[in-house]
Structure 1
């Protein structure tokens, strides 16, 4: 059958061809109905793709191998088609999620399926106008009617009955909940099966309230411990001894001293004599979000000058939660597959900020087998909030007299001094450390913080003794009366340092505005959420499904990182939930995914062509460009790449490619320069750059911060004409960049004005003449004003962010005068060096030819230059006022895996550049020194630009 089928392949995929050939085979009747089967293949993304759409072209399927498998449909055609589309769209087949043997995954998918189904039913009931307003609201972020579910209180009320067994009789006493010996039975249907009085119960809602068969964790005062069963596939030298270190963390706070195992010898498998690790903390004092972090390391003897020392070499690490997603203390054996890549500067080799997901590549991963002991014959559960609130009332009654005594003591000593000290602490930046005395003061004056310093909640949270469940309970009660923070202040509470469930739910409740501005960070902090069903996930899905533009960017932010093992399952679950609740959006996104796949194919074709023709650059360029244009003209390519909404901006329709203007760029990864005709722009063209092989996430972050700076300046009535062009990561080291129209690089402007590349960088008239050629009269004055404002904005922004690699091809100017920077591969002061010498010696780029334009060619420092300097100083002071916001946004990106943002030390650059901790006068004095330094050392920039221009000229 396979032979005949392969001989009959056509450009389309109708099953009728197979059925026609199969009729001559003896077992044909066993196949059943044609409609109950479909084709399946493994596509180029290594995803099982179900080919439900029979009109698709074979050339669009792109299987990994030229084999199609006939499979039986397991459910309705519509459901299978939707599942197949979602699997291909998100880049992870839903059968992979089906195969995960994890109850948390199953419960989350079931809940999301129900919620998505209800949402789509509501959408179907909408009028066309209502649907347009819901999906394409002119207000980007709807603030009314948004429901935030916490995953606990959104279930419909169950029908409660109590069953009384009296020999052969069964009675339903009441449809309301009646407790008998602390047990409730929730049943939907109840009837006799036959005369033998056998009872059949519908299991659709059978639950038990285990008041007597569950133990509250606060009642267990035994020290917490775990048992090390064994370690396998441990990659250590034969002569090394292997140890395990374990620590309990709440965020980055170590709850007690780490426990360390005895040493073990062996090749690959290890067991430890003292296999029980006991911690200096009772079970009752474990916070709900406690992480158990392990580090496996080798111990080697090192002899130096007759002194023997021990050296520790990390081998692997892994983390797990102490409570499961239902709040139950874990028991029994658990196998943890470890990670071998260690971040820099880990304290005691423990990595609490790392993922709690185990390594999915189990074949070669080190495995740590542990056992959680049982402390009670019943399951141990973390108390629900109503019990927390009851405990707080008792604690507050007990502490009321202490509070009165404390108030008397403060008044007798110097309560004013305490409040002055508290105010000073609360005004510090987010990176400042608190000493124990300061934490005690904040906690003592926590009620004063509510009234006078509500924005100080993060510092109060850092002052809580999370290893005391009484303090934790009081904090959770305080959150119920804490004033609502503005979104910019609430963002900090989503940092890893604040893992408490109620804190994060409070933070999400504050995020009613400015969601799109911080969506990049909100997606990244999903990594900090230990459980799939959380307030942040519900919030993002609710907002995304209520607004198409937010949904668009949520989709791409998640999909671009779905290849990362630590978040692959989590992001796939959220993407599946979004797609199921936004079915009309699927086809739009699918078109974009297919278009990006085509562009990747073109890029790979070009890379292959340049390798083959590397000896002759001219021949290479001609043949490769011709091959590229031939490819783009193919029907399958032109159809896929036309009439799609731009991933960079879903409001822009890319109607058709202008093949003649398309090209590829002369850099290592051969980015594609794709030009579109756009019907909505009145015949104008629109350009996008497709990159394959470069990680654009750092550029995306930098441009987001530039956009935020522009917004903050405008709020202060200062428009510095920033050009935060579009940039979007769409996959593993792939993405799109918006082409800014009518713009050219400083390098090109200089080179076209001089016959000698080496001299071009020193021609101070080149830039001004370029603007004069494109503007005259009043237009020239406006262009110079645009240049002055934008130059001031980028001088301040690049200084604050520590943007490096500022050669003349990374700075551009529009014909309207706006100057802007591109390519942000080096940030936070990571300036490029050569032979150990820094190539960039200035705090920001301010050359004399820039000053020449600002002063309209006049010599000496004029009034125009004074205005420019004033713009810079004003812009700098505005950013300083929002210093904590910038620190927070970078801190929320710490686990994203950006090459130059890996630890808090990287963010320290922002604190220094913004002079946080200093007065405005002191900070302004520092900035003025940097401004003068940039002017004084600008000759070094010109030398670097000369070298760059010469190298560029030689390449061409």
Structure 2
């Protein structure tokens, strides 16, 4: 068929009965006062009466649906077949729908009428949403007094989207799996918003008309109609009509059940995949954890499940293809799971995601996690606490596991307590997290003294409780300091005055307190003379604490800022640093510690450093600044080779990590440089691709950083690009682990994730470029570096930012 041809059927040639499906009723019933009778349970009993009218006169007998009383929204999903055939219709044929309520003595709900042909004389197909005229029986005269279609001037965004959805379901809009899921989710939000705005002003009945292979054009029987081109044979036009399209085919479902039944277990046990099937299986196993398996993928994995039991990577994919609603199939799957090759810890995290609801599967995942040592477990602890949202009970296997591990490690206990305590502000899951908090407290209080002279459980718990008391006092100090009128210096004087006077007990604690950031360190008091305040809107405190071993540690305390997003990003930086070091690549990263102690408060480790903006303002270049600390007349650019190497490696590490995590709002004030040449990023208010600045570059790589490496043509800049590509390919190997960790954060209240978790995780997945091999990724990342360095617009924005900071 050429692009100029228009194929269609004539209505007079279709010798099939008029068929459609009554789906559901949308909206609230208009009988609030009639539900007060003693014998009324508040549920209506509804049915829909359908009738065909031709040229304003009834044609045939009306047809009724069954009674529906399951409550809003009332759903019949019933196929209606009339005695009339399509060839009997005229251009003014109408269908009338009247909804009745038997629970109120044949109460009339409302009616609506729809023409079967549009103004172009084409048969209407797909879903139609008809507005009911309350209290009026559907009128079949022509023109009708109860038109079901919403007038054009009253149509809103929702009606336009439903029209597009109708086209999508008829195959007139291309399907893109990941984009479709995001679109449907957005449509649901729009629908909820419209429902809240409009209230229950209208009732709608949703009807689904059948579709044909081509459009149906009205034509009276026996009329002389000249076709645009002759049809060679009857095979050129075939009526394909299936009112059950999109529904479960009973015969196919029965065949599928037989193919997956237990009686085939003996046969399937000996099956081996062919060469092509093996390639397909390997392709499926490489899918990221966010990828949904198709029907064919699920069937293939199930068919060869016995031969895949030695492939540990296949277990998570196999469990995704199980029909858990089938008791026998679920039982067989759980038996196989127990005999499967033990999976890695990173794959066990996937089994704790909301996709897997089976308690046995989640318990199996916990048994795998038990093999992880405390250091590895701490890398995932934040996500494991978030995974408690997806458990089936408050005292789950995961909750008990976390508490048991925390009892033998004070660091795990401290962080577990804080991670759970912060989530108590979430009303939906407050009970779930509080239950874990109570179990931790109960078990720890019952603990005796440790074999190595460690304090007993009661004292350990009290040392953790005192952390909360300390943060409460710091919140009070912050409020008092903010109320002081004057510049920052006056606020600093007020801080030191408070610490030395009214709050002098903070300078020396009665008993040492475990530092919330590093619980293995005992702090004994604050040093007032070394404590200060940062010059910013929130006036964060910079506090110097004395430690039990005679040293000091510096902590930043912020009140008025949600640090949970920063906490997540720094945790990922720490994890990626660990993954790189396992591959013998140390990029001198600075994963400083961050801990959110509330919804709008928290602590950060203070790292002595200066911002690049400050350095460039005072020293003109990065190299001249580093020459003050590591001068070497024989070294590159007058500094030691080790210092330059540290700078190059840290630049490479953060360039890759900030690109993968999509960290935005990068400017010279949140890029800091330590005296040893280590560069690091702070302030992660925008992640997963969000950025307040227009046209941000893929990564923050300013010309001053390139100049410190000797320029774009130097060997040091080439080494920088080499480190970037090596780090990128190493982290790509652990993409499943990183994606699983973010997937477990899907239910969290972190701003840039909570806004649209699925979209954020898909963006993260795209950054790994899993469609490319390692060699292709090297070229890809080098192009990204070149694009970032040559970006002109961000340089203009940076200049504007500097001027804004100056005038501020």
TM-score by length of 2: 0.66
Matches within 5 A, 1:4-153: none
Change in CA separation of 1:881 and 1:633 when aligned onto 2, cut-off 3 Å: same
CA distance change for structure 1 residues 309 and 910 in 2, over 3 Å: closer, same or farther?
closer
Answering whether residue 433 of structure 2 is matched by residue 552 of structure 1, we say no
Q: Are the equivalent residues in 1 in contact too, given 2:547–2:553 (CA < 8 A)?
A: yes
Aligned mates of 2:717, 2:482 — CA distance in 1: 47
Q: How far apart are residue 565 of structure 1 and its match?
A: 0.8
Query: Which position in structure 2 is the counterpart of 1:646?
Result: 515
Matched, 1:711 2:505: no
| Distance in 2 (alpha carbons) for counterparts of 1:623 and 1:311 | 56
Structure 2: how far apart are the matches of 1:650 and 1:806?
31
Q: Which runs of 5+ in 1 are unaligned?
A: 1-256, 282-298, 314-342, 352-391, 614-618, 754-762
Q: Flag the 1:500–1:258 CA change in 2: closer, same or farther, 3 A.
A: farther
2:501 aligns with 634
Question: 2:151, 2:651 → 1: CA distance?
Answer: 58
Is the contact between residue 606 and residue 624 of structure 1 (CA under 8 Å) also seen in structure 2? Answer: yes
Q: Secondary structure at the match of 2:478?
A: helix
Does 2:293 correspond to 1:434? Answer: yes
Q: Kindly provide the CA deviation profile for residues 382-439 of structure 1, in whole angstroms up to 9, marking residues without a partner as x.
A: xxxxxxxxxx9xx9762245537x94xx7xxx72222221111111222223211111
Partner residue of 2:529 out of 639, 646, 660: 660
1:924 aligns with 2:778: yes
How far apart, in 2, do the equivalents of 1:905 and 1:425 lie?
A: 22
1:801 aligns with 2:661: yes
Find the counterpart in structure 2 of residue 785 from structure 1: 645
Q: Distance in 2 between matches of 1:595 and 1:668?
A: 23
Larger mean Cα displacement after TM superposition, 542-551 or 770-779: 770-779
Aligned residue for 1:945?
A: 798
Deviations 1:892-938 (A, max 9, x none): 1011021111321111122221101222233222212101101211x
Residues 637-670 of structure 1 show CA distances to partners (whole Å, capped at 9, x for unaligned) of 5337744221000122323322123222232222
**Cα distance change of structure 1 residues 942 and 265 upon mapping to structure 2, 3 Å threshold:** same
The equivalences for 1:877-916 within 5 A come to 877-902=729-754, 903-916=757-770
Structure 1 stretches (4+) deviating beyond 6 angstroms? 257-262, 266-270, 278-281, 299-302, 306-310
Pair 1:521 & 2:383 matched: yes
1:601-633 deviations in Å (ceiling 9; x for gaps): 011122333xxx4xxxxx343543333222222
Structure 1 segment 232-243 matched on structure 2, within 5 A:
none
The answer for the alignment partner of 1:425 in structure 2 is 284
Contact kept, 8 Å, 1:521 with 1:889, in 2: the verdict is yes
Question: Is 1:731 aligned with 2:598?
Answer: yes
Distance of 1:934 and 1:264 partners within structure 2: 59
1:601 aligns with 2:453: no
> Is contact 2:563-2:600 (8 Å) kept?
yes
Number of the residue aligned with 1:273:
44
Counterpart contact for 1:442–1:460, Cα < 8 Å: yes
Deviation at 1:349, TM superposition (A): 4.6
Contact 1:261 1:272 in 2 (8 A): no
1:560 counterpart SS class: helix
CA drift at 1:812: 0.3
Map Cα deviations across residues 508-558 of structure 1 (whole Å, 9 max, x no partner).
Answer: 000121211100000000011121121101100110112111111101111
Superposed displacement of residue 810, structure 1: 0.5
1:399 and 2:264 correspond = yes
Do 1:559 and 1:571's aligned partners in 2 also have CA atoms closer than 8 Å?
A: yes
Residue 280 of structure 1 deviates from its aligned partner by 11
Q: Name which of 873, 879, 897 aligns with 2:725.
A: 873
Compared CA separation, residues 449 and 552, structure 1 to 2 (3 A): same
Alignment match of 2:442 (pick from 558, 580, 594): 580
Gap change, CA 1:540 and 1:345, over 3 Å in 2: farther
CA contact (8 A) 1:302 1:308 kept: no
Q: Do structure 1's residue 509 and structure 2's residue 367 form an aligned pair?
A: yes
Counterparts of 1:181-260 in structure 2 under 5 Å? none
Q: How does 1:831-850 map to 2 (within 5 A)?
A: 831-833=691-693, 838=694, 840-850=695-705
Aligned position for 2:447: none
1:441-462 Cα offsets, whole Å, 9 max, x none, are: 11111112212x3212222122
Instruction: Between 889-898 and 600-609, report the one with greater CA deviation.
Output: 600-609
- Deviation per residue, 1:164-188 (Å, 9 max, x gap): xxxxxxxxxxxxxxxxxxxxxxxxx
- Aligned-residue offset at 1:828: 0.9
Q: Report if aligned partners of 1:785, 1:854 keep a CA contact under 8 Å in 2.
A: no
- Counterpart secondary structure, 1:532: coil
Q: Does 1:485 align with 2:354?
A: no
CA distance in 1, matches of 2:733, 2:357: 27
Residue 445, structure 1, aligned to residue 304, structure 2: yes
Change (3 A) 1:303 1:713: same
1:368-407 to 2 correspondences below 5 Å: 398-400=263-265, 402-403=267-268, 407=271
**Does the 8 Å CA contact 2:323/2:330 hold for their aligned counterparts?**
yes
Work out the CA distance in 2 between the residues paired with 1:644 and 1:776. Answer: 41
Distance in 1 between the 2:704 and 2:732 partners? 29
* 1:307–1:851 distance in 2 versus 1, CA, 3 Å: closer
Contact 1:669–1:692, Cα closer than 8 Å, also in 2? yes
Does residue 773 of structure 1 match 2:624? Answer: no
CA contact (8 A) 2:517 2:603 kept: yes
Deviation of the 1:804 alpha carbon = 0.7
Q: Which runs of 5+ in 2 are unaligned?
A: 1-21, 36-41, 46-68, 78-130, 133-147, 161-181, 191-256, 445-457
**Are the counterparts in 2 of residues 847 and 941 from structure 1 also a CA contact under 8 Å?**
no
Find the structure with the greater CA-based Rg. 2
* Mapped contact 2:299–2:321 kept (Cα < 8 A): yes
Higher relative contact order (CA 8 A, sep 6+): 1
> Structure 1 residues 587 and 268, CA, compared in 2 at 3 Å: closer, same or farther?
farther
